[in-house]
């Protein structure tokens, strides 16, 4: 099949299996700058914004910024910034063309344009999806990572910025200078209290590089926290072909994802905002219970399934969940280990929430690769799995599923699968993990001891639960001896989680 490319002209030929609700043509202004315009933003915040503008028109077009590669900019430029989102589930298909993105900049090509845009009075909100590692935060101390060379260089204001925070610092300096007005910086990454993290890091780098900005920062900039949810697998040639079959047009930026989207935002805006609540977003005074629930239950079990699934030879989460042992394991992890330790938001109950997660993970229409979720584990483990473990182990609660998941991560970042084959580990600390494995020379207790010394992930030894080393050694020993499928199978006796 070879169709025409999606753009303003071909839009008229959209197949009947797709829809586009135009937003006052192009006659709306840009009010949002988004840092990190990857698939997740396009399938989540952009859709909320498109729907909010359909309900209540406003100047909320999006200026996307790519920090790392020109790919999205080039593809969207060739499509008049149109792209599609297809949601799929058993018995459900919906494809919509999104037209809320007005332009995309590739930051390294012209950093000063990005800085100028941040100081543009029309921009009222900066949203961010820069991944956990994009913040350059040391999760154990909450401070900026001193070994983050790019961030270190970005403190020299005579140089062009490279990092998201470096851009924000310069943009905010220029904004204050030109009296362009208050601005909201809205983090949409999977970090606990992501707004507080962003505000803290900004204050820290201001104190180092531009101390005189601090009072204005306190007065004119807010950083609400937000919980974002929506499973968005990376595109593949097959997903692009699938989208093409619904659109009748070729869309190189097409996204195929699940039919679920949630956004809970702290009501802490410095200036105007789109009517996101008209699109189903929840604006609340305290996001923390939503974040904790989502990070520990969804992301925690996602990471567990990713490491144990990949080690067990499964390519995708749906394939992993089709093995009843893994499905029961995930249910047990949520219901007996991660769930009981937290307070859920009012009106939410653990059974309903965990059942909906299990259903979402089972969605056979999504090719969400275990290896995609397995990336950057050093940045994800603390808030997803270790928080549950650290809260529960001291009170002697058995946490076999969580322990097995952490052991599987240690195994996985050794870069060898169960058949001895090697693969590339994507993690900012990958080289260090490879060295730890090599130095331990196959001794399981030595591997565990060495990993527990990585304080960026596990915190200082004094804060680690006493039982941790022994329990992890037992889990890793079993994994190495019996393999992931068998170990998961032994924990899969959870009632009510059968196929
Ligand atoms: C996933 C998340 O890649 C990952 O680490 O756990 O991207 C997950 O799909 C989303 O947070 C779901 O909202």
Task: Return the pLDDT at 412.
Answer: 98
For the whole model, what pTM was predicted? 0.96
- The tokens 């790919």 sit on which residue? 71
Q: How confident is the model at residue 26 (pLDDT cuts 50, 70, 90)?
A: low
Q: Where in the chain is the domain with CATH 3.40.50.720?
A: 11-284
**pLDDT tens digits, residue range 338-369?**
999 899 999 999 999 999 999 999 999 999 99
Residues flanking ligand 1, CB < 6 Å? 190, 229-231, 298-299, 302, 372-373, 380
Going by alpha carbons, the residue nearest to atom 6 of ligand 1 is 299
User: What does the pLDDT average to over 67-93?
Assistant: 97
Residue of 251, 245, 249, 183 whose CA lies nearest to 213: 183
- Residues of the chain with pLDDT > 70: what percent? 98
Residue ranges of alpha helices (H) inside 298-364 are 300-311, 317-321, 324-332, 350-362
Work out the pLDDT band at 28, boundaries 50, 70, 90: very high
**Cβ atoms within 10 A of the Cβ of 176, count?**
20
d(CA 130, CA 470): 36
Q: For the chain, where do the domains classified as CATH 1.10.1040.10 start and end?
A: 288-490
Q: How confident is the model at residue 12 (pLDDT cuts 50, 70, 90)?
A: very high
Q: How remote is the CA of residue 224 from the centroid of ligand 1, in Å?
A: 20
Q: How confident is the model over 373-394, as a mean pLDDT?
A: 95
415-437 pLDDT per residue, tens: 999 998 999 999 999 999 999 99
Q: Which residues contact 199 (CB under 8 A, 6 or more apart)?
A: 185, 221, 223
Pocket test for ligand 1, best of 302, 333, 363, 426 (most atoms within 8 A of CB): 302
Mutate to test the pocket of ligand 1, among 231, 303, 412, 426 (most ligand atoms within 8 A of CB): 231
pLDDT of residue 78: 98
CATH label, 288-490, candidates 1.10.645.10, 1.10.1040.10, 3.30.565.10, 3.30.70.2740: 1.10.1040.10
Q: Can you state the angle between helices 111-118 and 164-177, rounded to 10 degrees?
A: 50
pLDDT of residue 1: 53
Question: According to the model, what pLDDT value does residue 25 have?
Answer: 58
CATH number belonging to domain 11-284: 3.40.50.720
Q: Which of 139, 210, 149, 196 is nearest to 385 (CA)?
A: 139
Supply the pLDDT for residue 195: 98
pLDDT band at 216 (very low <50, low <70, confident <90, very high): very high
pLDDT bin (cut points 50, 70, 90) of residue 257 is very high
Kindly tell me if the per-residue pLDDT of 499 is higher than 70: no
pLDDT of residue 320: 98
Distance 231 CA to ligand 1 centre (A): 6
User: What distance in Å separates the CA atoms of residue 135 and residue 194, rounded to the nearest whole number?
Assistant: 10
3-state DSSP assignment of residue 98: strand
């Amino acid at each position: 099949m070879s169709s025409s490319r999606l753009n303003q002209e071909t839009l008229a030929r959209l197949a009947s299996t797709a829809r586009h609700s135009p937003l006052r043509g192009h006659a709306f202004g840009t009010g949002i700058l988004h840092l990190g315009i990857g698939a997740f933003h396009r399938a989540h915040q952009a859709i909320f914004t498109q729907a909010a503008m359909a309900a209540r028109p406003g100047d909320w077009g999006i200026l996307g910024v790519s920090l790392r590669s020109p790919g999205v900019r080039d593809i969207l430029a060739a499509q008049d910034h149109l792209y599609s989102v297809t949601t799929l589930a058993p018995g459900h298909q919906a494809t919509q063309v999104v037209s809320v993105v007005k332009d995309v900049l590739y930051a390294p090509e012209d950093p000063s344009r990005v800085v100028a845009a941040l100081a543009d009075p029309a921009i009222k909100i900066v949203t961010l999806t820069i991944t956990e590692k994009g913040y350059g935060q040391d999760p154990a101390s909450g401070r900026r990572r001193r070994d983050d060379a790019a961030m270190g260089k970005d403190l020299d204001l005579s140089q062009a910025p490279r990092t998201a925070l470096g851009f924000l610092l310069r943009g905010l300096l220029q904004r204050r200078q030109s009296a362009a007005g208050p601005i909201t910086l809205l983090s949409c990454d999977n970090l606990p209290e992501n707004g507080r993290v962003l505000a803290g890091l900004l204050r820290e780098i201001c104190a180092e590089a531009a101390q005189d900005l601090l009072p204005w920062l306190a007065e004119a900039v807010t950083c609400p926290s937000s919980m974002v949810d929506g499973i968005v697998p990376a595109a593949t040639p097959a997903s692009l072909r699938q989208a093409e079959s619904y659109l009748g047009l070729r869309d190189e930026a097409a996204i195929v994802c699940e039919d679920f989207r949630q956004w809970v935002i702290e009501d802490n805006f410095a200036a105007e905002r789109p009517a996101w609540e008209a699109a189903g977003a929840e604006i609340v005074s305290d996001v923390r219970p939503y974040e904790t629930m989502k990070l520990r239950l969804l992301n925690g079990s996602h990471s567990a399934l990713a490491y144990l699934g990949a080690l067990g030879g499964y390519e995708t989460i749906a394939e992993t969940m089709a093995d009843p042992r893994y499905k029961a394991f995930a249910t047990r992890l949520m219901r007996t280990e991660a769930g009981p330790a937290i307070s859920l938001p009012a009106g939410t109950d653990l059974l309903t929430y965990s059942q909906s997660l299990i259903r979402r993970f089972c969605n056979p229409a999504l090719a969400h690769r275990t290896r995609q979720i397995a990336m950057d584990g050093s940045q994800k483990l603390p808030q997803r799995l270790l928080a549950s473990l650290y809260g529960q182990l001291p009170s002697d609660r058995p946490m076999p599923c969580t322990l097995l998941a952490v052991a599987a991560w240690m195994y996985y970042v050794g870069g060898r699968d169960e058949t001895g084959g090697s693969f590339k580990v994507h993690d900012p600390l990958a080289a260090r993990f490879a060295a730890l494995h090599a130095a331990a020379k196959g001794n399981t207790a030595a591997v565990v001891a060495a990993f527990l010394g990585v304080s960026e992930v596990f915190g200082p030894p004094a804060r680690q639960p006493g039982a941790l080393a022994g329990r992890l050694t037992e889990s890793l020993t079993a994994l190495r001896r019996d393999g992931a499928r068998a170990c998961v199978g032994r924990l899969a006796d959870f009632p009510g989680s059968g196929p």
